Amino acid sequence: MSSSTIDRLRLDGRVAVVTGGAGAIGRVYGRALAEAGAAVVLADLDGERAEQAAEALASDGLRALGVRVDITDRTSAADLAAKTTAAFGGIDILVNNAALMAEIPQVDILDLPTEWFDRVMRVNVLGAVICAGAVKASMTERGGGRIINQASAGAFLGGGIYSVSKLALVNITVGLARSLGPLGINVNAIAPGLVDNEPGLRSLPADHPARAALAATIPGKKSAPAEDLLGTLLLLASPAGEWINGQVISVDGGWVTRL
Ligand SMILES: NC(=O)c1ccc[n+]([C@@H]2O[C@H](COP(=O)([O-])OP(=O)(O)OC[C@H]3O[C@@H](n4cnc5c(N)ncnc54)[C@H](O)[C@@H]3O)[C@@H](O)[C@H]2O)c1
């Protein structure tokens, strides 16, 4: 592969916002985007942890800022966009990664309290839409951008409210790709399988009988660290992925397959 092909995976001069940036995967995503050359804003409901995560990047010479955001609040999302623009000049990449997952009560959807139904849909679905809306003006002004929605293999496997919310996010990915495409904004989604981190383990403990049953249905690697998602993230965020739009890319060892 020529070095110009590799160069097209770099993000020098770009500005990326990662929601849920203080979380397990968000921190890994933020570091990868920064190491690829982007200035990165780690945005999270837990502002203190977002700032600490950004400081860890900055202490390694990377350009990073931690910002508190509640993605379900339009004013807060607008404030995130304004702070990002003030710090780094605008926004080129949004990773809609914040979500509720491990905290959701593991009960049959028929028994899920209405407030949890509303809460999950509000954070996992509306939150991503609000953030996309908040970055649209800046991306448009800069001639385009990338929005990457963090879906899940669960979207295609059915079950609880989490799966419902992630399939809604896939649908929104396609809709936004169509509406924002003419502005030069590509919208895609990553659908990870089971990630080897604390929230993943909390959602499905290693010794849970369902894990062995699930693993039997996955032809490849059963679970993986967040680092295994980074190739896809960088492809979707970088010039190398310019022609990819409105897609959901499963990174799950072949757990979910589609013809
Ligand atoms: N861990 C897994 O196995 C796995 C698998 C597939 C997909 N995912 C998805 O990856 C993403 C990150 O998951 P994770 O494992 O890092 O979990 P995590 O809980 O560590 O990260 C989620 C982050 O989102 C933040 N957040 C929650 N509500 C928010 C709000 N209203 N505004 C702003 N931030 C908010 C939380 O504070 C947290 O830091 C999620 O979208 C999750 O659904 C995770």
Of 162, 193, 203, 241, which one is the catalytic site residue? 162
- The total of other beta-carbon atoms located within 10 Å of residue 168's CB is 18
Give domain status of residue 257, yes or no. Answer: no
Nearest CA to ligand 1 atom 32: 70
pLDDT at 1: 67
CATH number of residue 185's parent domain: 3.40.50.720
Mean pLDDT of the chain: 97
Structure tokens at 93: 């990449």
Residue 150 CA, ligand 1 centroid: distance in Å: 9
Residue 110 lies in a domain: yes
Provide the β-strand partners of residue 44. 68
Convert the pLDDT of each residue in 55-73 to its tens digit: 999 999 999 999 999 999 9
Question: From atom 29 of ligand 1, which residue's Cα is the shortest distance away?
Answer: 45
CA distances, 6 to each of 89, 188, 227 (Å): 26, 21, 18
User: Tell me: the pLDDT tens digits for 211-242?
Assistant: 888 889 999 999 999 999 999 999 999 999 99
Instruction: Flag whether 256 is in a domain.
Output: no
How many domains is the chain built from?
A: 1
Report pTM. 0.98
Task: Answer yes or no: is 204 within a domain.
Answer: yes
Could you read off the pLDDT of 28-48 as tens digits, one per residue?
999 999 999 999 999 999 999
> Does ligand 1 lie within 6 Å of residue 26's CB atom?
yes
29 is catalytic: no
User: How many CB atoms are located within 10 Å of the residue 110 CB?
Assistant: 5
* 117 Cβ neighbours under 8 A, 6+ residues apart: 161
Q: What value does the CA radius of gyration of the chain take, rounded to a whole number of Å?
A: 17
Domain membership flag for residue 123: yes
Asked whether residue 258 is domain-assigned, the answer is no
CA of 102 to the centre of ligand 1 (A): 8
160 lies in which domain range? Answer: 3-251
What's the CA-to-centroid distance between 145 and ligand 1, angstroms? 23
The answer as to whether 150 is a domain residue is yes
Q: What percent of the chain has pLDDT over 90?
A: 92
At a CB cut-off of 8 Å and minimum separation 6, what does 112 contact? 105, 160, 161
135 within a domain of the structure (yes/no): yes
